[in-house]
Amino acid sequence: MDIQYFKDLLHERALKATNSRLNLLTTMLAYKSAMPYSAIQESMKSVDRVTLYRTLESLKQSGIIHKAYQENNETYYAICGKKCGHQQHSHDHIHFKCLKCELVTCEQTTTDIKISIPEFVINTTSIYLEGICKLCKD
Amino acid sequence: MDIQYFKDLLHERALKATNSRLNLLTTMLAYKSAMPYSAIQESMKSVDRVTLYRTLESLKQSGIIHKAYQENNETYYAICGKKCGHQQHSHDHIHFKCLKCELVTCEQTTTDIKISIPEFVINTTSIYLEGICKLCKD
DNA sequence: TAATAAATGCAACAATGTTGCGTTTATTAT
DNA sequence: ATAATAAACGCAACATTGTTGCATTTATTA
């Protein structure tokens, strides 16, 4: 993933490859884990907050980023995988918040998770876990 | 569950059984499904919004209610089961949002859900589902 | 390079979060 | 039943975030 990848991605989704969007995406990529809004705001403080709001909205709508986690009025955003498209998010990972390092990451589970409720139709499943991550465990 | 139950519950948690709290709890109980903040606000419009804010906070802190769901800046609250205590929420149910009737309910899953990530320690698990509920399916 | 649709910045307002403080209320001990 | 007291309330005030309209700027294209 580099700038050109993001430019192409944006064009695919009929979005202009503007500085705000490219800056946001490269910042989020560099951050590695899901990025809290406050951190996004900090690194994007050169752009107007309305622009940031609309940037997040457009990227979310287009399936380029997603809300990974939300707690205590702090929202965490992460970059989507390739399966996501316009109005069509599809994540096969779960979101994990480490209580020690406080990072939120997208993780793959080893086994397929099948949750069912009798007589209910389930379209989408979102799973959030809290605990201690691999790196903090030692 | 009736008024007396809530009074006792509040006293157990060292909270005064005030009108705001009892009104909120009986309203939420009558609502049956998880109650969106806007609806709570509507039925609690006689109390100051700061009081409502603090009422929700105190009941949440004490394990009497919990945030059941959150989307599009609308938060849904639900009454906790008996396992929850002060600073100690413990829900064995999942939260389900029906895309037809738009109600958010707490549901039991038939099978125990065990999610694991290699080398991670998992403390709490939250699961959110979207789909069509039993009543709307027909 | 010009045309044009999209994106930005700014102003403005709404909704919610949050704190401090003086007054009121629920609980308790008398 | 009443007084003492700590908790809760209402109000004012300010912070943060959400959201829209509109004139200006920018990215894309022809």
Higher pLDDT among residues B8 and A82, named by residue: B8
The pLDDT assigned to B90 comes to 72
How many Å does it take to go from CA A87 to C1' D27?
24
Q: What is the CATH number of the domain that holds A114?
A: 1.10.10.10
The pLDDT assigned to B72 comes to 83
How many residues are listed for chain B in this entry? 138
The pLDDT assigned to A89 comes to 66
CB contact at 8 A, A77 and A37: yes
Which residue of B109, B119, B129 is in closest CB contact with A137?
A: B119
The pLDDT assigned to B89 comes to 66
The domain tally of chain A equals 1
The pLDDT assigned to B62 comes to 95
In whole angstroms, give the CA distance from residue B82 to residue B92. 11
CB contact at 8 A, B91 and B106: yes
Radius of gyration in angstroms for the set of CA atoms belonging to chain A, rounded to a whole number = 16
The pLDDT assigned to A25 comes to 97
Judged by DSSP in three states, B71 sits in: strand
Residues above pLDDT 70, as percent of chain B: 97
How many Å does it take to go from CA B56 to C1' C23?
22
Interface residues 70-99 of B with strand D (CB < 7 Å): 72-73
If pLDDT is split at 50, 70 and 90, which confidence band does A108 have? confident
pLDDT averaged over chain B? 92
In whole angstroms, give the CA distance from residue A68 to residue B17. 37
Report CB contact under 8 Å: B117, A96. Answer: yes
pLDDT averaged over chain A? 92
Strand C: residues with CB below 7 A: A 15-16, 18-21, 47-48, 50-51, 54-55, 58, 72-73; B 7, 10-11, 16-19, 37-38, 41, 49-50, 53-54, 73, 75
CB contact at 8 A, A103 and A97: yes
C-alpha dist (Å) from residue A6 to A2, A16, A39, A78, B38: 6, 11, 21, 14, 38
The pLDDT assigned to A41 comes to 97
Smallest CA–C1' separation from B15: which nucleotide? D7
Span B35-92, pLDDT tens digits: 999 999 999 999 999 999 999 999 999 999 999 999 888 999 999 987 777 777 677 7
Range of the domain at A118: 3-137
> Average pLDDT of B130-135?
96
How many Å does it take to go from CA B56 to C1' C17?
12
- Res A88 pLDDT > 80: no
Which of the nucleotides in strand D have any atom less than 7 Å away from a protein CB atom? 7-13, 17-21, 26-29
Nearest CA in chain B to A119: B134
- Res A87 pLDDT > 90: no
- Res B110 pLDDT > 80: no
Span A51-69, pLDDT tens digits: 999 999 999 999 999 999 9
